Amino acid sequence: MTNVNIKNAIIFLLIITLLNLCVPNVAAASKNNYSVLFYNNAQHTSDHMLMARGSTSNGTLNWKYVTKSIVTSSATFNSVVYVGSNDNNVYALNATAGTKVWSYTTGYRVESSPAVANGIVYVGSDDHNVYALNATTGTKVWNYTTGDLVTSSPTVANGIVYVGSFDHNVYALNATAGTKVWSYTTGDAVYSSPSVANGIVYVGSHDHNVYALSAKTGVKIWSYKTRDFVFSKPAVANWIVYVGSWDGNVYALNAVTGTKVWNYTTGGGFLAHTSPTVANRIVYIGSMDHNVYALNARTGTKVWSYTTGAPVAPSPTVANGIVYVGSDDNNVYALNATAGTKVWNYTAENRVESSPTVANGIVYVGSNDHNVYALNATTGMKVWNYTTGDLVTSSPTVAQGIS
């Protein structure tokens, strides 16, 4: 550990002590204490990949299930796919056969990505509610009503559900009972999904700020003001918070103090789907200026950039030395993570605004052509596609071995 990191660690531990940030574990620890989250982990990095379950090697299309509207998100648990749709429903589908296990109807669109933890599906709805549903039966365990749309994807950590709302608030809810533990009011809508690391919740707001909040109490530890909306989900790695802003900058902020370490200016902003991915000391991010950037995580200097044919809305995913990312030019790209050279591209029938997920040698990604694609991660050849009833803009979450 460097002297800087040691210093940060000491400062951080002092802050933890003063604020009593140790988060209580609401759910009893056991072999079943798990969570499957949008973007795979609470820090929103791609350092930890969860494996696919029930994938095929011969590319045969096992099943398809068509909903009535836009499918916005999915998570897989115990061979069941949980997915929200703009037809107001949350669906549980058998991952092998594609048959409907159950569906739960909310009062409006489900744009939020489900998170699954300890047998419960957590998801937001544009009807202003956060829902907890029994993962086996689909029965409602509880719902919590906020003051506006909940398009933010929940993050579950240590028995607490963290989520944002358009009512300007970040909420911490007891994962078992649905009672509010705390809320923190920002100056505008919270589309950003929270990241949780080391007892701190990091989240962006339309009020241009990135916030660091005590995970236990919701007390603000620090905020950093950018020059425009912060739709981006922060990524936390090595005591640094990486986040994009609509002002066109990628920011690296000290995770303990919130001071700016560096910023890199691109030629365009970063939409809600676009968040940094940190791997092997490189920050990968797409921009509305059509480029995918690789930046040195310590200094912010550009390592390389790759120009696509249109804005790059989704977040890159890094696996086995390859960067996978979609573009509004209808393509999914595989780029060499070191050099930025193109390995392959796959052309869909419409924009690719979904962030890819890689598992067992397969790239899973959605497209505005209504399909979810499974592509060979090495060659880019299509293994299968699943046709939904409308746009697929959010990222698949793939899990294996949960029991």
Neighbouring CB atoms inside 10 A of 309's CB total 11
Amino acid at site 100: K
**Per-residue confidence at 80, pLDDT binned at 50, 70, 90?**
confident
Q: Provide the pLDDT for residue 96.
A: 60
Q: Provide the pLDDT for residue 20.
A: 41
Residue with tokens 């950590």: 157
**Per-residue confidence at 33, pLDDT binned at 50, 70, 90?**
very low
Q: Provide the pLDDT for residue 22.
A: 39
Classify 397 as helix, strand or coil.
coil
Question: Does residue 398 register a pLDDT over 80?
Answer: no
Chain centroid to CA 6: 29
Q: Provide the pLDDT for residue 75.
A: 58
**Per-residue confidence at 400, pLDDT binned at 50, 70, 90?**
very low
Domain residue limits, the chain: 3-387
Q: What is the pTM of this model?
A: 0.80
What average pLDDT score do residues 384-398 get?
A: 72
Q: What is the mean pLDDT of the chain?
A: 81
Return the percent helix, strand and coil in the chain, to nearest 5.
5, 40, 55
CATH of the domain spanning 3-387: 2.130.10.10
pLDDT 10s digits, 133-185: 998 899 999 999 999 999 888 999 999 999 999 999 999 999 999 999 999 99
**Per-residue confidence at 38, pLDDT binned at 50, 70, 90?**
low
Question: Does residue 346 register a pLDDT over 70?
Answer: yes
Cα–Cα distance, 65 to 43 (Å, whole number): 31
- Least confident range from 195-199, 214-218, 264-268, 325-329: namely 264-268
Q: Are 297 and 255 in contact (CB under 8 A)?
A: no
What average pLDDT score do residues 79-99 get?
A: 72
Q: Are 125 and 106 in contact (CB under 8 A)?
A: yes
What average pLDDT score do residues 251-260 get?
A: 97
Q: Provide the pLDDT for residue 257.
A: 97
What average pLDDT score do residues 38-53 get?
A: 47
Question: Does residue 9 register a pLDDT over 70?
Answer: no
Question: Does residue 316 register a pLDDT over 70?
Answer: yes
**How crowded is the C-beta side of 87, counted as CA atoms within 13 Å?**
17
What average pLDDT score do residues 90-109 get?
A: 79
